[in-house]
A = this chain, B = another copy of it.
Amino acid sequence: MFTAEEVVAKIRECETAGGNPMKITPQRRLIFKALEGKTTHPTADDIYREVKDIIPDISVATVYKTLNELVKLGILLELKHDGEQSRFDPRTDQHSHLMCIGTRTNEKGRAVPCGRLEDVSTSFPQLTVPEEEQRGFQVAYNEVIFYGYCPECQQRLGK
């Protein structure tokens, strides 16, 4: 939940590990813009393909590096929950996710996950681990993921 300009402003305030704030390059500005207001949880490759239309010789490496920086700064959330590509979420407030577990068959006859991922505004800070099962862990936060079938997969799979 941010605009590209807000990201630029936030970055100018921040310090990275090295001590200096990230530099703002045209490539990065474009990546921020691509993330702006997105609720689709794009993959790095989604972002890459989108910015490539404007700066055709941008490299995937640049996209990955930039996204990783934003994650480190806490401006972006990285979701790595299906064993597939990471997905990125510009929304960083406490919320949950709803993920589709349907699969479809690709050209090579292989099952590929639908992977549709949606935000759910609710969070569940009240959930706790029973004392006797904490094993000395210092719990920082929790995450709730709801799994199910999206409307398209219900129809396709006859669920």
Using a CB–CB distance below 8 Å, which chain A residues touch chain B?
Answer: 78, 80-83, 86, 96, 98, 100-101, 118-122, 124, 127, 129-130, 133-151, 154, 159
Contact = CB atoms under 8 A, between A and B. Distances in A.
A72 to B, nearest CB: 11
Nearest to A84: B80
A159 B138 contact: yes
What copy number does this chain have within its complex?
A: 2
Given A82-B80, A98-B129, A120-B130, A146 B135 contact: no
A116 to B, nearest CB: 9
A139 B83 contact: no
Contacts of A151: 135-137
A149 B159 contact: no
A86 B80 CA distance: 12
B133 A141 contact: no
Contact of A129 (B146, B149, B159): B146
Contacts of A144: 124, 127, 142-144
Contacts of A86: 83
A159 B136 CA distance: 12
A71 to B, nearest CB: 11
Contact of A142 (B130, B138, B145): B145
Contact of A127 (B119, B124, B134): B124
Interface centre among A121, A134, A138 (most CB of B within 10 A): A138
Contacts of A80: 81-83
